[in-house]
């Protein structure tokens, strides 16, 4: 299945800046069979009875998180950029290679003891997902793990998530 799904990931050289090989998932999103296979792979990594909710960060985490939540008839919790959610939120800042960013979650989105699966399109350095994990914790939830379509293994983002199960469908070992 890995080769099949990799055939839907387009490599775009020098985007968003020179020297970067961007992994474009647009062709994968256009194919319903490929999207179904992504959901099935996530389901193999994390059996549906092992978690209560799916959580995904803005924006591509929404795509795969909602697809999985719908496939399994579970709720979805969005984690957004600052200022996008109405009502009381928790905010978590995290480092980028060129500065700082932050994410927010509704304070009442996850109940104490809810088991959640965090889903995103890509694991790079782990900064975004570390912030997501902290937001889940602050809401009282328990992250059962993190699931990614793509992992840029050469960036070693997994090392920044040492206490959590991390699964990815497609791993790229070299830049």
Residues 73 and 116: beta-carbon distance below 8 Å: no
What phi and psi, each to the nearest 5 degrees, are found at residue 87? 85, 180
In angstroms, the CA 128 to CA 93 distance is 9
Is 91 an active-site residue? Answer: no
SS3 58: coil
Residues 172 and 150: beta-carbon distance below 8 Å: yes
Out of 60, 91, 115, 137, which one is annotated catalytic? 60
Is 60 an active-site residue? Answer: yes
Out of 33, 80, 92, 97, which one is annotated catalytic? 97
- Active-site positions read 60, 97
């Amino acid at each position: 299945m890995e080769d099949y799904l990799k055939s839907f990931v387009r490599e775009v050289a020098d985007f968003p800046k020179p020297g970067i090989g961007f992994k474009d998932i647009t062709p994968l999103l256009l194919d319903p069979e490929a999207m179904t296979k992504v959901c099935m792979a996530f389901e193999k990594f994390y059996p549906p009875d092992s978690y209560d909710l799916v959580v995904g960060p803005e924006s591509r985490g929404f795509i795969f998180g909602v697809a999985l939540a719908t496939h399994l008839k579970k709720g979805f919790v969005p984690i957004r950029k600052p200022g996008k959610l109405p009502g009381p939120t928790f905010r978590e800042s995290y480092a980028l290679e060129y500065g700082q960013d932050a994410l927010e979650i509704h304070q009442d989105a996850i109940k104490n003891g809810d088991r959640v699966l965090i889903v995103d399109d890509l694991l790079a350095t782990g900064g975004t997902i570390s912030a997501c994990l902290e937001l889940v914790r602050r809401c009282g939830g328990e992250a059962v793990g993190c699931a990614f379509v793509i992992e840029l293994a050469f960036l070693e983002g997994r090392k920044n998530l040492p206490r959590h199960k991390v699964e990815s469908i497609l791993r790229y070992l070299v830049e």
